[in-house]
Structure 1
Amino acid sequence: GTRAGAVYAEPLAGGVRRFQERHGVSADGVIGAATFSRLEIKPAARAEQLALALERLRWTPLLESPRMVVVNIPEFVLRAYEVQDGRIDIVQRMRVVVGQALDKRTPLIDAELRAVEFSPYWNVPPSIVRSETLPKLRRDPGYLEREGFEFVAADGSVHTGVSAEALDALAAGRWRIRQRPGPRNALGDIKFVFPNAEQIYLHHTPSTGLFARDRRDFSHGCVRVEDPLALAMFVLQDMPDWPEARIREAMDAGESRTLRLTTPVRVLIAYGTALVKDGRVFFFDDIYRQDPRLQAALRERAAPARAD
């Protein structure tokens, strides 16, 4: 252990930086509120967190497919890896932005990534239309053209003018609204599609500044990836006619194109608040408050059955 002197200096400051790195705080050596609150967590609570992480790993199918893409929500990290002889070989690791903890949480998913959409349209979900898009269009009709939106009628025809009729049809759900491919598109220049009931997908984003934040729960539920080109190269690696240059070209084309994968890639959106990396234990904030729920469920299962 390091003896604390009268002055906060090395090696104690270095120890604090290492602690911060393992607890999801910017490793600046400054003992701010976030660092102090983590220093106060008792070892018994951390041991319980590790036990919950082990329980989750027990039923998470991390080795069941030869190639996997796994997002760990509390860590805000995606890993793409290959499984060889029962061992994980990590090919890509990148930061992600996930759904807001308050009301737009990213669900846990086990699905197959079947297609990549280059220069995608963004079909605005009805919930976002109601809460954000419609109010903005009513206040400022110029928002439609500025953001590259267009209306799509029930018969598939496309309309680019804002009118009372268009807004009423949108509000009633008869029309929908989408954003054209381009630099302002909310999905960026690529979308990774794995069919699931919650309509969640991985995609790029023009809002790249959010990847620099320590805590990255800002989306409406879908997962934004920091390095979509690297992820595309991983999922398309067994399609030799899609080298890096061609992928870049399709991402920059500004024209929507869907490419089906020859071999689907397993996608897991998982949840673990503790992880061992290179022999060191890392802890992450339980942003969706899942640990107490799992704890309660395990206690309930362990409790002896009561006689009637």
Structure 2
Amino acid sequence: MPRRVQKSSLTLLFGWTLLFGWVAVALLVAAGSAAAQVPDTRTRDQVRALITRASLASLRHPDFATYRQPLEAFYGPGGKAPQWLTANALWRAGVAELSAASDHGLEPSDYDVDWLNREFSAIAAGDLTPERVARADVALTVSLFRLLSDLHRGRVGPAGAGFKLSAGEKPLDVAALVRASLASGNVHDAVAAAEPTFTLHRRLEEALLRYRALAATPLPPLPELPKGTRKVEPGGIYAGVAAIAERLRRVGDLPADAVIPGDNRYTGALVKAVGVFQDRHGLKPDGVLGRDTLAALATPLEARVRQLELSLERLRWLPEFPAAPLIAVNIPSFRLWAFSDAHDDRAAQLSMPVIVGRAVNARKTPVFIGEMRYLEFSPYWNVTPAIQRKEIVPRLARDPGYWEREELEAVPAGGKGAALTSLDAATLQGLRSGALRVRQRPGPKNALGGVKFVLPNTMDIYLHGTPAQQLFGKTRRDFSHGCIRVADPSALAAFVLRDQPEWTSERIAEAMDAGKTSTVRIARPIPVVIFYTTAIVDSAGRVMFQSDIYDYDRELESALRAR
């Protein structure tokens, strides 16, 4: 073919392509303009009927009776006219927000993204039947309502995941948010307004995007340790040195320019990077490649992505706290933080290890929100009936000397009468029958240490010190009966009483060692969040993963699947 003819053909082809493109755009604009004009009565009637029926079989979750009232508020001012097929095709922005649900740890398929795209594409192609226009418009509105509600409150309630947690009402006017976003032409405004305002929530979303991108590229497998080898110490030989280096570079624990020996020797910068990785994953940061460390290194990044998604879901259960002091405990992290401002986690004035309840049903530390109202210095340990019946009485029957060694005494269960300081057969029988209650006197052996932090609740859960300080040296610290033991009770007492200047550090120390119980009310009660999440991002931007010690991630997965 001559060059001139070939060029002419290409020009003609380009012209036809451009023409068809403009025709498609014109059809879309025409469709939007047509729908944006005063709709006929049939379209309004279809919208009205859908709202009344509050059900659409084509949707993944067909029933939307929960949103009947918000739909009335959204469509009522416009006389039940469609709202999304505007000249500027705002439906595209609405569907785009639904498509981005995964950025928030949600599932786009929950919001019928593919079905909505097909419906609006058919409308753009010229199918303006009242049934289709009404169906697509109401379905998009319902899906956005669902997205906003899920972002604000979570997809399942905390009770469905085994938590004794109440976030209160957490009101959200989804109709007003979506109408305002339509008026401004920016649908993302509604999404941003519905999300939790916690800084941690934003950091988790950023970490989610990063880890999802990392997980898109497969990692080389880790070879098994040589037969008979239980661990690799620094300086040892391991065939997986290069694979570990690749993993640690990927997640940022090993600098990109770090030099790795080519002889499979585990040494230098790689040992240091493993220590950083161990610290982020709740492991002892000793640089030794043991069973737990290798298991954490071998965990697929897709699993870490899921941990981040589940953590975002749980954060949505929390209420919006005021810009005031807050104490938070994350059970899988075995750590407490005390913040001077709940809105800024960089304002952590205190951080310390804690010991939580054992990973058995009867001893798990419950997840709840309390309010710390007072402290008891040099407290008695009033043993619970369950511990008395199951542990103390059998121990005394075997070893009566335990009574004096642990400085125990008995008091009438009704609360009236003098304490019995000696153990005899009658006292033991009274303890066995429940007529007497055992308690431990204040002092250096007292299980609560020198101070008890009281947040009144029906579960009898509180924070306290402990004489067993050696347990804080363990990396996994689920040893208690459910209450929370703190590593530095005097520092926590100083934080709690910081607005009461008469309580100096010296006076706190004296009260803790006094051997006589005293109660101090807190000037302004402090919210205490006892929480559970296996992924957090600290104020330095480090993504921290913890073991699911109570299997709550699995329970949340089940609750989400059962919706």
Tell me the TM-score range normalised by the shorter chain: over 0.9
1:17 aligns with 2:311: no
* Aligned residue in 1 for 2:284: 26
Q: What does 1:195-210 align with in structure 2 at a 5 Å threshold? A: 195-210=456-471
The higher relative CO (CA closer than 8 Å, separation ≥ 6) is in 1
Q: Which of 394, 398, 403 is 1:144 aligned to?
A: 403
Question: Structure 1 residue 298: deviation in Å?
Answer: 2.2
Mean Cα deviation higher: 117-126 or 129-138? 129-138
Structure 1 contact 208–226 (Cα < 8 Å) conserved: yes
Mean Cα deviation higher: 61-70 or 180-189? 61-70
1:178 aligns with 2:439: yes
Q: Which of 530, 535, 540 is 1:274 aligned to?
A: 535
* Aligned residue in 1 for 2:340: 82
- CA–CA separation in structure 2 for the residues paired with 1:29 and 1:285: 19
SS in 2 for 1:167: helix
* Aligned residue in 2 for 1:304: none
Q: Deviations over 1:205-239 (max 9, x none)?
A: 00000001000000011000001011001111111
TM-score, length-normalised on structure 2?
A: 0.52
- CA–CA separation in structure 1 for the residues paired with 2:371 and 2:353: 21
Percent identity over paired residues = 49
In the alignment, structure 2 segments of 5+ residues that lack a partner are 1-248, 250-257
Structure 1 contact 236–261 (Cα < 8 Å) conserved: yes
- CA–CA separation in structure 2 for the residues paired with 1:95 and 1:140: 33
Question: Structure 1 residue 60: deviation in Å?
Answer: 2.1
- CA–CA separation in structure 1 for the residues paired with 2:528 and 2:542: 26
* Aligned residue in 2 for 1:5: 262
Q: Which of 231, 244, 257 is 2:505 aligned to?
A: 244
Structure 1 contact 4–12 (Cα < 8 Å) conserved: no
Structure 1 contact 74–273 (Cα < 8 Å) conserved: yes
In the alignment, structure 1 segments of 5+ residues that lack a partner are 302-308
1:46 aligns with 2:293: no
1:284 aligns with 2:546: yes
* Aligned residue in 2 for 1:235: 496
Tell me which protein shows more strand as a share of its residues: 1
* Aligned residue in 2 for 1:72: 330
Matching residue's letter, 1:94? M
- CA–CA separation in structure 1 for the residues paired with 2:477 and 2:320: 24
SS in 2 for 1:161: coil
* Aligned residue in 2 for 1:221: 482
Structure with max Cα Rg: 2
- CA–CA separation in structure 2 for the residues paired with 1:289 and 1:62: 27
- CA–CA separation in structure 2 for the residues paired with 1:38 and 1:62: 34
SS in 1 for 2:273: helix
- RMSD over aligned Cα atoms: 1.4
Question: Structure 1 residue 65: deviation in Å?
Answer: 5.4
- CA–CA separation in structure 1 for the residues paired with 2:395 and 2:383: 13
1:133 aligns with 2:395: no
Question: Structure 1 residue 62: deviation in Å?
Answer: 6.4
